[in-house]
Chains A and B, each alone.
Chain A
Amino acid sequence: MAGGSASLLEIRDLRTSFFTKRGVVPAVDSVSLRVGQGEIVGLVGESGCGKSVTSLSVLGLVASPGKIIGGHILYHGEDVLGFSAARMRELRGNKVSMIFQEPMTSLNPVYTIGKQVTEALRSHDRMVGSKEARLRAVEMLARVGISEPESRLEAYPHQLSGGLRQRVMIAMALICKPGLLIADEPTTALDVTIEAQILTLMRQLQREIGSSIVLITHNLGVVAETCDRVYVMYAGRIVEEADVFELFDRPLHPYTNGLLRSIPRKNEDESAPRRLYSIKGNVPDMARLPAGCKFAPRCERCVEACTRAEPELVDSGNGHFVRCFRPMSDEVKR
């Protein structure tokens, strides 16, 4: 299992809070996460659970009023939180790069594709001349499946479709052959046939270049098809961690179980149930979190103890961790 190999990225007890007028919002609360060499790790959760803030923290991109207030982020064993601005810049793009959900807003509309792709390369490697940069850009665009890459270099972002723009983003992210690629909802804005193309491409490039990937998504279908290991986040915390097969076969946290059960899917006997399972209540307000387990107000298995103290993330064997006093047992599921 890839999870057993040396850690490329290790996040320990990361705490990132936002100091707003309404009070302190603990967006990321004591999150620990590990990414092995060549591993594809999924970070799953709903809006506002802190999955994007976790990744922005790794790149030192948390904007005010947000602030990292504790923890360690080790890349190849070195704590990047102690890095100078210059070293951080070298890390970003060169060693760790990121692709975002909205490919239209992440490309600069006034520069050509060629200018932006070569800039990504040349700003990290000053030895690369403009001719070589152009050649490598063409090669990279071809590699992400863009036809006629030479003529595309002259195009502006608005002349490309959403799928092509996301390919350009991936080309920019991978042109320096980073050790780690953070992909934040990379296919959410795309159509399903294009989503399938992009996910296939990411897996293929991951095998060829050997980069590790952190895939941030709310889509459990995307996780099931792509990831090796999965972390489930809820209200700023990791609530479950497991190998992807283990997680889908044997979810232990009532939240994970609820998410999996609420996806409409076909029944073996084709008599689809009329009603879907649903988790009651709403996604919590991060500025007014309950005491005890953060999922308790929405949980069917909640008992009094859950509202008093918060459970720890505990090992239940096979690298499967869960933060729950009353994890799912096999009898109660489905």
Chain B
Amino acid sequence: MNAPIVEATNLTKHFATESGPFNSGTSVIHAIDDVSLEIYERETLALVGESGCGKSTLGRLLIRLVAPTSGVVRFEGEELPPVDSRELRKHKREMQIIFQDPYASLDPRMKVLDIIGEPLVTHLGLRGEEKAERVGELLQMVGLPRSYVGRYPHMFSGGQRQRIGIARALALDPKFVVCDEPVSALDVSIQSQVINLLQDLQERKRLTYLFISHDLNVVRHISDRICVMFLGKVVEYGETREIYHHPLHPYTMFLLQAAPLPDPRARYNEKKVLQGEIPSPINPPSGCRFRTRCPYAAPRCAEEEPLLAASGGPGASGRSDVGARKVACHFPLA
């Protein structure tokens, strides 16, 4: 395995809700609680989980778009400086993000030349011909004609806009890219085009991806490793194939079973449907946060929080290194 490019240690992010006319006093949202993980060079680590589990917040913490409440993020071994510091600028060139909604993430009043060219101006000082030339190259790289430089976002379809978003993220030749649900808003026939493009670019540009998604079919296809989150915590972590074969955490199993398969015969498989709703991150349950929905929960689960630890169960690769399989459960599945 390659060297880690991003390492997060005991990362925590709490947001305070503001008091308003309908709620007095503030409360704390536990968006990310004590998360540690490593992302290795040139791999794709998928971050999966349901809405509100903190996966987007974690992605933003890793590239310092958001400041953590506590904890450390290292990029290529170097601790990232504070959010508003000048030293962060040089790191920003190497860490970029692709957003979910290609309609909301492009400024409608800017031409493609300026949307993609903005980072070239602010970071490299490119102007005029030089900038136009580089934007043209970037457009070609994402499969759009160079002649599109003078167009505005409204003239493009969703898939084309996402290509523009990708070109902008890659303008400064980053090493690490957070892809936050990059294909979720796209039509089925366009999704596979964009997934192929992301994979081609990863190979050509030697990129490392954090791929945030709730689509488990896409994740299975694109990722090397998976990190499963529930309510601000990592509950399971390991190689994609091992996790799909032998989920160890009950939540992972339910998540995998819930994804509808494009095969009508799958309807005859007995499907275990997870009951209940996602608990509130303002007052997370004591002990294991999943216990209120877990059919296997025992008294111990309410009293003692399970720690993310290497598992010796089936599917564990037997390695003791940091990339090995880990699960946070008192009673992992056999």
Contact = CB atoms under 8 A, between A and B. Distances in A.
B199 A274 contact: yes
Interface in B232-278: 241, 244, 254-255, 257-267, 271, 273-275, 277-278
A64 interface: no
A259 B260 contact: no
Interface stretch (A16-24, A75-83, A99-107, A276-284): A276-284
A259 B216 CA distance: 17
A219 to B, nearest CB: 7
Contacts of A277: 192
A193 B274 contact: yes
A148 to B, nearest CB: 13
A276 B255 contact: no
Contacts of B277: 161, 163-164, 194
B190 A248 contact: no
A260 B230 CA distance: 31
Question: For chain B, which range describes its interface: under 10, 10 to 19, 20 to 34, or 35 or more residues?
Answer: 35 or more
B231 to A, nearest CB: 12
A197 B271 CA distance: 11
A228 B158 CA distance: 31
Contacts of A259: 188-189
Contact of B220 (A192, A200, A266): A266
Interface residues of A, number: 46
B317 interface: no
B190 A264 contact: no
Contacts of B274: 193, 196-197
B260 A195 contact: yes
A193 B258 contact: yes
B264 A264 contact: no
B188 A266 contact: no
Contact of A283 (B189, B218, B221): B189
A270 B221 contact: no
Nearest to B187: A46
Interface of B: 50-51, 157-160, 187-193, 195-196, 199, 214, 216-218, 220-222, 241, 244, 254-255, 257-267, 271, 273-275, 277-278
Given A225-B260, A264-B222, A283-B190, 17 more contacts: A162-B51, A163-B277, A192-B255, A193-B258, A196-B257, A222-B260, A224-B262, A225-B267, A245-B265, A248-B262, A259-B189, A263-B217, A264-B192, A265-B262, A277-B192, A278-B193, A282-B160
19 contacts: A47-B158, A192-B50, A193-B254, A218-B188, A220-B262, A221-B259, A224-B262, A225-B266, A226-B267, A248-B262, A262-B191, A263-B188, A265-B217, A265-B261, A265-B262, A275-B199, A278-B189, A278-B192, A283-B189
